[in-house]
Amino acid sequence: MDKETLAITLGIIFGFAARLRLLQSDYRQYPTYPHGQVIHLALGLIASALGAVAIPALLKPDYTAVTFLTLAAQQFRDVRNMERETLQKLDETELVPRGFSYIEGIAMVFEGRNYIVILAALFTSAAVMFGGWITGVVVGIVAIVLSSLLKSGKNMGQIGAVYEVPLRVEGASLYAADIYLMNIGLPDNRKRILENGVGIVIEPLNASSRITISNLGQRQAILHDVSSILGVTRDSGEPALTPLAKLDLKDGRLGLVTLPQEKNIPKIIQVIKNVPVLESAVRKPNQFDAKKQV
Amino acid sequence: MNEKILAIITTAPDLVAGGGSPVFVTKDEEELLERAFLLEKILDAMVHKLNESTYIIVKH
């Protein structure tokens, strides 16, 4: 086998392995069905083939082959649109929707992962071309490990303290501790919310996390995750039984009422702590430098 | 603005003037709650209590 073929083969193998490793179905239950997974694996295979071919083509030298890479980037941007559209359609049938920010985050990840696959394949094939097949294998394994590290972002537990508070009703108003949540007209609904509901407060740790927590998309993501993992006592035609999050404007604490089917407080707190911090919700006012001239 | 008052239910019609949403006048509080419950289910919109005599149905 000549060097080019070996480089391309190893590049594809490691690129594909990286995609396999990044594709996991977890509690978000997406993509779950084999067909959904096949779509992403097939795209991953194409991505790895593209990455693997680039360096051998450059060395050959076959410069036109490299221009195909730009064409490929265009292809993978469509992945994001595809995911966004699917998830938005599905969101309409959710009792507690994910919200646009969460969907955008997931769609972005799907696009990003294809680029990671291209890079992993590219580095592997480059290593084979300049080193040998052993170097290629080592670089490929390192690339897969690095790509797994890129997978994880921050979660809510790192930016806020999460604890349970009692829910109470004053007249028709529902409060979580001292944070006003909503006005519930029917006494029957008030009773059901007090019975099934769990009040939670998320206290931001600093100024940056205060802004993140106040983001509406981030709040919806928290409510969606709690509802999808622990179930939700809700149905259509029951608008009062809506999990809800409201801010205390004075100190930035977020008060939530969740309506889990399984009233397991430590688990609810753990689920909230594991909710990913959405990229679109992150702001960093701490890094603003007043002395710096813009 | 997506919020919209779909209906008003009251036992004190003199406190409510029609302004685009239907007003349901009831005899007493029991009937008021029953009407509010029914309308909540039918309209899939939330019941809010304004005061002892008036409830509104709001689509959020």
Distance from CA of A220 to the nearest CA of B (A): 15
Check whether the bond before A61 is cis (ω within 30° of 0): yes
pLDDT tens readout for residues A45-94: 988 998 888 888 888 777 777 777 777 777 777 888 888 998 899 888 88
Residues of A in contact with B60 (CB under 8 A): 239
Q: How far is CA B29 from CA A47, A55, A215, B20, in A?
A: 67, 79, 40, 24
Inter-chain touch B47–A171, beta carbons under 8 Å:
no
* Nearest-angstrom CA–CA distance, A106 and B41: 34
Residues of A in contact with B45 (CB under 8 A): 239
The answer to whether A22 and A16 have CB atoms below 8 angstroms apart is no
Q: Which residues of A140-164 are buried (b: 16+ CB within 10 A; e: fewer)?
A: beebbeebeeeeeeeebbebbebee
The two most distant CA atoms of chain B are separated, in Å, by 33
Q: Where are the domains of chain A?
A: 3-152, 157-285
Q: Residue A237: which region, alpha, beta or left (left: phi > 0; alpha: psi -120 to 50)?
A: left
- Which ipTM did the prediction report? 0.85
| Tens of each residue's pLDDT in chain A, 294 residues | 788 889 999 999 999 998 888 887 565 656 667 777 888 888 889 889 988 888 888 887 777 777 777 777 777 778 888 889 988 998 888 889 999 999 998 888 888 888 889 999 999 999 998 988 899 999 999 998 888 887 777 889 999 999 999 999 998 899 999 999 999 989 999 999 999 999 999 999 988 889 999 999 999 999 999 998 888 888 888 888 889 999 999 999 999 999 999 889 999 999 999 998 988 888 777 777 777 765
Using an 8 Å CB-CB cutoff, list residues of chain A that contact chain B. Answer: 171-172, 183-189, 236-237, 239-240, 242
- As a whole number of angstroms, the distance between CA B10 and CA B12 comes to 5
Q: Where are the beta strands (DSSP E) in chain A?
A: 160-165, 167-170, 173-176, 179-183, 198-204, 244-247, 254-258
